[in-house]
Structure 1
Amino acid sequence: MKIQKFEPSQLLKPFVNSFMIVESDTETVNRILPGTSLVMAFRFRGTTFSDNSPHAPLPAFCLTGISTSSRLIRYTCNTGVLLVHFREGAAAAFFNAPLHETAGYSTPLDQLLPAWQIQKIEEQLSEAPTHDQRIRLVEELLNTNLKYRATYDLVTEAVKLIKSTSGNFKISELVKLLNTNVNSFEKQFRSQVGTGPKHFSSIIRLRSAIQNYKNGADLTKLSYAAGFFDQSHFIKGFKTFTGESPSHFFKQGFYW
């Protein structure tokens, strides 16, 4: 599997973290862990399948919401996919639908954006000879559907605060600091980020634990660092998140 990352244009940098081209010359299975932002996919050749639906291909062009557990994605021979990794909370600038409705699913793009736009870019991507040209086409689509420029808002600040503590910021304290109320905050957060603040925080905690893991690490210390009361609760949460126990997971192959 070959993976290339590309920077977005200056206009899109506040909204898009990166573009990624994933190519597989042979049939490959990749584990995708839950992330904190939405991902838009444009498959320009080949076919992809998910373990959730192993006999039905994933939509060629789709928006994948935030999930609660890992997924296995199978790439057939000679498959190429362009991925748009949005910044946390930033995908809302392009879509009218509340983003928590996409949670755990890969929603076809023609259900979220004008169908004629998707048909047009499908034809253009199939004819584009280079990755640079493919990315320019996707950027044009994003620019066309950009509803507002980057501005400060409560959710953006909440995301920054949660990330600054590796997911260990108590929601009650967060709401108090931001001078808002729980119900209003959670509703706005879900709609803009794609999941609730508690689930968002748990993803950050577990991803931080995975990034900080070293061979022979003490799981009890790792559990406390990830915000769990004890090792047993950490292992349970870890299995839900990755589909495997910590000891087995860290022996496995490629994931992101």
Structure 2
Amino acid sequence: MIHSIIQPCIELRGIVSHFWTGSWESILSKPNNTHYIIANRLTEITFAFNNTKPNADLVFSSIQGHTYLPRTAVVSEYNHLIGVTFNSYALNRVFDTQALDLSNEFISVDTFLGSKGKTLNEMIASPNTTEKRIKILSDFILSMLNERFSNDRLILNSINKIDLSLGTLRIEDLAKKYHLSEKQFGRRFKAFTGFSPKIFSRIVRFEASIANQINSDSLTDLAQKTGYFDQAHFNNEFKSLTGFSPKNFWKLKD
């Protein structure tokens, strides 16, 4: 698979994590008809095409909510994907919905957005380059912004600290730092992110293991680098969050 990441414009930073594309050479591999969903703390809108050409057919579009439950979805065959990945806690600034409302969801764009989703599909499906499609997506998101939205700065700071610790920070210590009981902190964190802080931390550590895989000599080395007790714990956690062993998971990208 050929994968690329495109950073959002300044106006969308903090709302959109990134735009992305993924392509498979049709000569070398059959079109995909299985969409793999793994643990993810972010929310994605995906547009799938039957090839990479500007006049490619749009075969499906979907919105995938944040989740810690791996699964697969049977979809129309595709060879090329274009997507936008949102920080789930910013969803109510764009779509007037809470993070919890999309937890574990996998639904079509037009089901989620109604007539606006149908119009967006038509615009994305029109003959376009990747650059033009990213521009269409950016303009659409900007047009949807709710300026009355306000962030929970305490939870945003907590997310940053969990990220910096690669998910190993003790939640009870974090709650004490902000003079909250662990229960109070957990309720506030889940209302903002859609996850309990402990599950969120698990996913952050899991994502750190994926990011560090290329720089690790072995799975044991990778487990140690990302704070797992041992390789057995790492393997069990990885399968719980992806549905695959680490080795089989990395084979998917081929």
TM-score (norm 2): 0.77
2:16 aligns with 16
Read off the aligned partner of 2:103 and give its amino acid letter: A
1:140 aligns with 139
Deviations 1:75-109 (A, max 9, x none): 76554432111236333322333322322221333
- Tell me, in whole angstroms, the C-alpha distance in 1 between the residues paired with 2:197 and 2:252: 30
Q: Determine whether 1:41 maps to 2:46.
A: yes
- Tell me, in whole angstroms, the C-alpha distance in 1 between the residues paired with 2:108 and 2:154: 29
- Tell me, in whole angstroms, the C-alpha distance in 2 between the residues paired with 1:188 and 1:7: 29
SS of 1:179's equivalent in the other structure is coil
- Tell me, in whole angstroms, the C-alpha distance in 1 between the residues paired with 2:167 and 2:6: 27
- Tell me, in whole angstroms, the C-alpha distance in 1 between the residues paired with 2:153 and 2:119: 34
SS of 1:11's equivalent in the other structure is helix
Deviations 1:13-70 (A, max 9, x none): 2211211133445314675542221112233x349xxxxxxxxxxx933321122244
Read off the aligned partner of 1:62 and give its amino acid letter: S
Query: Does the 8 A contact of 1:24 with 1:75 survive in 2?
Result: no
- Tell me, in whole angstroms, the C-alpha distance in 2 between the residues paired with 1:254 and 1:92: 32
Pairs aligned (count): 240
Deviations 1:153-186 (A, max 9, x none): 1221111010010101111111121233434432
Q: 170-179 vs 15-24, which deviates more?
A: 15-24
| Alignment CA distance shift 1:73-1:105 (3 Å) | same
Deviation at 1:12, TM superposition (A): 0.7
Query: Does the 8 A contact of 1:88 with 1:159 survive in 2?
Result: no
| Alignment CA distance shift 1:132-1:160 (3 Å) | same
Q: Where do residues 55-70 of structure 1 align in structure 2 (5 Å cutoff)?
A: 60-70=60-70
Larger relative contact order (Cα-Cα within 8 Å, sequence gap ≥ 6): 1
Read off the aligned partner of 1:138 and give its amino acid letter: L
What stretches of structure 1 of length at least 5 have no aligned partner?
A: 48-58
Read off the aligned partner of 1:127 and give its amino acid letter: S
- Tell me, in whole angstroms, the C-alpha distance in 2 between the residues paired with 1:180 and 1:128: 53
Query: Does the 8 A contact of 1:37 with 1:193 survive in 2?
Result: no
Read off the aligned partner of 1:217 and give its amino acid letter: S
Read off the aligned partner of 1:3 and give its amino acid letter: H
Q: 206-215 vs 232-241, which deviates more?
A: 206-215
Read off the aligned partner of 1:234 and give its amino acid letter: F
2:241 aligns with 241
Q: CA RMSD in A?
A: 3.2
What stretches of structure 2 of length at least 5 have no aligned partner?
A: 52-58
| Alignment CA distance shift 1:141-1:158 (3 Å) | same
- Tell me, in whole angstroms, the C-alpha distance in 1 between the residues paired with 2:127 and 2:216: 44
SS of 1:5's equivalent in the other structure is strand
Q: 161-170 vs 12-21, which deviates more?
A: 12-21
SS of 1:60's equivalent in the other structure is strand
Deviation at 1:236, TM superposition (A): 1.8
| Alignment CA distance shift 1:31-1:119 (3 Å) | closer
Higher helix proportion:
2
| Alignment CA distance shift 1:103-1:151 (3 Å) | closer
Q: Percent identity?
A: 21
SS of 1:38's equivalent in the other structure is strand
1:130 aligns with 129
- Tell me, in whole angstroms, the C-alpha distance in 2 between the residues paired with 1:218 and 1:128: 44
Q: 191-200 vs 164-173, which deviates more?
A: 191-200
1:217 aligns with 218
Read off the aligned partner of 1:87 and give its amino acid letter: N
- Tell me, in whole angstroms, the C-alpha distance in 2 between the residues paired with 1:218 and 1:132: 37
- Tell me, in whole angstroms, the C-alpha distance in 2 between the residues paired with 1:5 and 1:208: 17
Deviations 1:211-251 (A, max 9, x none): 334565362x65455444444333322221232334x3376
- Tell me, in whole angstroms, the C-alpha distance in 2 between the residues paired with 1:3 and 1:73: 21
| Alignment CA distance shift 1:222-1:122 (3 Å) | closer
- Tell me, in whole angstroms, the C-alpha distance in 2 between the residues paired with 1:81 and 1:194: 26
- Tell me, in whole angstroms, the C-alpha distance in 2 between the residues paired with 1:218 and 1:86: 30
Deviation at 1:190, TM superposition (A): 2.3
- Tell me, in whole angstroms, the C-alpha distance in 2 between the residues paired with 1:218 and 1:141: 42
